[in-house]
Structure formats: structure tokens, C-alpha cells
Structure 1
């Protein structure tokens, strides 16, 4: 089977967005490049009109150029392995693929084979969420991971000693990947299901809620997160830009949350809130 390579020239801020958009069109693998992103799909499944529609969707936000190449069958696992490098967070977390050797110098060794899911720690939002998690005591706690992708945030919570972790995503392939990664890391306390926040049992209450999604979903769903949170629980959010941080913060405050931390990286932001009945 021959493959089509789509080489996109676009800003780094849009890399994750286009991986998600192209994944929905059937693209099977992705490689981040200095210019932007290379995406791969079987020649028979490639639809240039669909690709152009995605590009047109963001045309008023940024300049995007692309080139199409036809490739002979090749070892895609080898290509992916050559471009996937481990990342480190605060000298305490190392995120690697299963073909990388472990490093005992890190407190948390997380194995992520991402396939088509997103959340390897390479993107700023995921890295900031992991960094925030290091400041939250998850031992013996219940955790909800919203839009779990690869399951990386759920896995860290489990490795931190969480008693129970519930994770969900709307994409079937993300669910399969999160389950595989949970097994790779020996995290049997992680439960993964396909759906949205509205499929979470409304009678459940969580100590920690993790949501690395986007501005619009957060603004819509923060009230639901708050209803699912115990008193003195923690909410960590990311997936939005600096210019959107105030809107997210105000939404949290309107729902009775107290902002206790903020991280910023390359114009992306992650916020930490607590739901407290006592105030500060």
C-alpha cells in the first residue's frame, strides 16, 4: 500500500489542532517538523478537498501552506521512533515511548505510545498540566481526567497514588490508546470510557479534576466540573491562550472556585483552582 504525505507549513501553535483535524479525516501518523507538520494517510483514503476545507477553516487566523507527496510503502514505526524523543518535566517526570530505555533518575517514568491520540507531553499545555499535578497530592484521592487523549494525565495521577481515576474522551481510538497506555504503566485503577462530561455519574464526587481541552469547552463545562468536585478539591485546566485566561478565571470565580496558580509557556496558559468552603 502506498501512502500520501501531507507537508504543512504552519505555526507551532496550530500543530495539535491540525493533528486532531487530520486525524478525524483518517490520517494515521504525524511528525512535527521545523516548518510545521507532516501527516500520513493511505493513498486510497486521501481526500484533498477535505484537507482544503480544514485549511480554509483556519485561513483567517494564520497563513498555512501545504505540499502533497506520494510515498512508497515504508516502515512507519521506524519513522515515528526516529522522531519521537522523551521529554522531562521539572526533573521529576520523564515521558517516553516503550522503545526508549527507562531512566531511574526520575521519580515518575511514564510510558506513552501515542498512536493517533494527543498528549505526549511535548505540547506546552500537557507539560504545564503535568507540572501542576506535581504540586497536588493525589495519594488516596479520586481523579477525573476530562478529554484524556493518550491518558497521560490520568497515568501520572495513578502513579502519584490516586485510589481511583476516571478518564474519558469522545474519540474511540483515544479510548483504546488510553487503555493501552494505562496497562503499559501498570495503572489498573484507571477506568476509561468513551463519551463526554455529561456521561459521568452525576452523583460522583472527585478530589481532583483535570481538563486540558480548549477555551469554549471549558467555559461551557466548568459549572459541571464544579458540581462533580468535593469541597477542598482541585481543578487544573489548560488548552487556551493567554488572551483567554481571564475569561476562564472569571468563569471559575463565578462558580465559587479560587485561583491558586498559573503557568504560562509560549502564550499557552494553565490555571489551578480549588473549591473551598472556607475561603483563604
Structure 2
């Protein structure tokens, strides 16, 4: 995969919030794979093969007069990605018990030490949605449970579930780079019992889980919720994130139609991570 070339966009965003979150969400739907947030800038990456010169034409926030957003872009070879994210990726600690760090960060004493080399994959724990999903998992009893991490990115959520005692875990992502990266991170954290797959919701046929984790985006969640409901065991838990506060009612209504009961949600900077039970 050394011949893969990415396009790096550098967006300068003023004011930063909430514009940067909206921008990242829109870019994600347009096909951008990974993001790095700096003090004033947002870096966004997309494979050159998925890029076109008009890719930003439908990014609504770029035309919003409430924000000043300028940008420039350049090609970046995949092998240069590590140098880019090492300059920006800082370790995080979730609820004082879970640390997400890179291999070059110093280990400290926590209950759950997760080593992630994200490369071009989403899921370092820095984004609000990943952070809240980690919090949800920390609050659940997953001992000996079957778990699905849908849209797994780096595999960080599946890895935490494994560290907390889940014994049968599937991690699925449609992106080949995420699939390969998750396999690396699963091995790096000695979670070899986690099965990593490349694909989409069609892989769920005849599968059953006690816990389903899906941190994707609103439209994909709405489309795939019926499949999640079919796969969720009675008494099982569904964790959903990747959408905004204003989308919660729409997501919950769909879950209600599928006989999934809303239990609670977490919020960070207008992002939501909601818990439903079967």
C-alpha cells in the first residue's frame, strides 16, 4: 500500500466552534477519511483516487457567512502520514481509568492501557464521539458478552470491550485501510480473539450480539438500524454515535419503531452518544 497518495486539506476556521465539528462531519460524508485538529486549523485527508477538484462544492458550511473558512491542499504520500500524526497526536485519558496512546508515548498506571497507531483511520479517542463511546463501554458489564463494533476504524472500541472481558468480538469497517489498521491494533494490544472484517452491514446475516457499537454517521445509522435490531439479543445494548444533538429525536424515533428503548445519552460539544436496550 506504499503507492497510495492522499490529498491533505488545511482548513483555517474562525470561529473554531462549532464550525470545525460541522466541517468534519460534512467532509466525512464527502469521503474524507481522517482528521487532525490544531489550534486554529483542521487537517483533512482523502485518498487521491476518491478525490475530485469539485469535492467541496456541496460542503454547506463553506458558504455559511457566520464562519470564515479558508483552505489550501496538497498531495501527501501515505508513508509521510506517521510523521504528520506523531506531531499532533497526544495521549488521552478517559474517566481516569482508560488511556489511549501511541506506541511512542510513555505508559502510565491505568486500568486499561490501549496502544493505537491510527495512521489514516478514525478512532483515537480524541473526537467527541469516540470519547463518549469509550465512556459508555466503561460503564457497561461486558464480561463474556458478544460484541459488534460497526464502523470500527482503528478498532479502539472493540479493544476496550475485549479488555473489559468480552470474549466474542467482531469489528467491521467498509474501508480497506481501516480494516488493515484495526488488525494491526488488535494484534498490538494482544486482542487476537477479536475478528476484524472488511465490509458493511451485509456481513451481519445470521449474527447475534449482546452489545452493538456503531459510531458512524446519521444517515448510515438510520439505514442500518433494522439490521442492528435483528442482530441484537434480547436484553442487549445498542450504542450509537456519530450524530448531533438535533438528530437524537430522529434516531430515537427509528429505534422506537424497531422496539429498541432509549435509556440515556452523553453529550460533548453538540455530539451525542446514545444507549438503547432491546
TM-score by length of 1: 0.84
Does the alignment pair 1:50 with 2:59? no
Runs of at least 4 residues off by over 6 Å: 1-4
Does the alignment pair 1:264 with 2:263? no
Which of 146, 150, 156 in structure 1 is aligned with 2:150? 146
What residue in structure 2 maps to residue 18 of structure 1? 27
Q: Give the CA deviation at 1:231.
A: 0.7
Residues 32 and 182 (structure 1), Cα distance of their counterparts in 2 relative to 1, 3 Å cut: same
Q: How does 1:1-280 map to 2 (within 5 A)?
A: 6-10=9-13, 11-13=19-21, 14-15=23-24, 17-18=26-27, 21=30, 23=32, 31-39=36-44, 50-51=52-53, 53-59=54-60, 62=64, 64-68=69-73, 77-104=82-109, 106-200=110-204, 202-275=205-278
Q: Does the 8 Å CA contact 2:81/2:119 hold for their aligned counterparts?
A: no
Q: Give the CA deviation at 1:92.
A: 1.2
Q: Give the CA deviation at 1:22.
A: 6.1
Q: Does the 8 Å CA contact 1:206/1:230 hold for their aligned counterparts?
A: yes
Unpaired segments ≥5 residues, structure 2: 14-18
Q: Does the 8 Å CA contact 1:108/1:156 hold for their aligned counterparts?
A: yes
Q: Give the CA deviation at 1:117.
A: 0.6
Alignment RMSD (CA, Å):
2.9
Q: Does the 8 Å CA contact 1:16/1:118 hold for their aligned counterparts?
A: no
State the distance in 2 between where 1:66 and 1:176 align. 30
Q: Give the CA deviation at 1:252.
A: 1.0
Q: Does the 8 Å CA contact 1:15/1:32 hold for their aligned counterparts?
A: no
Larger Rg: 1 or 2?
Answer: 1
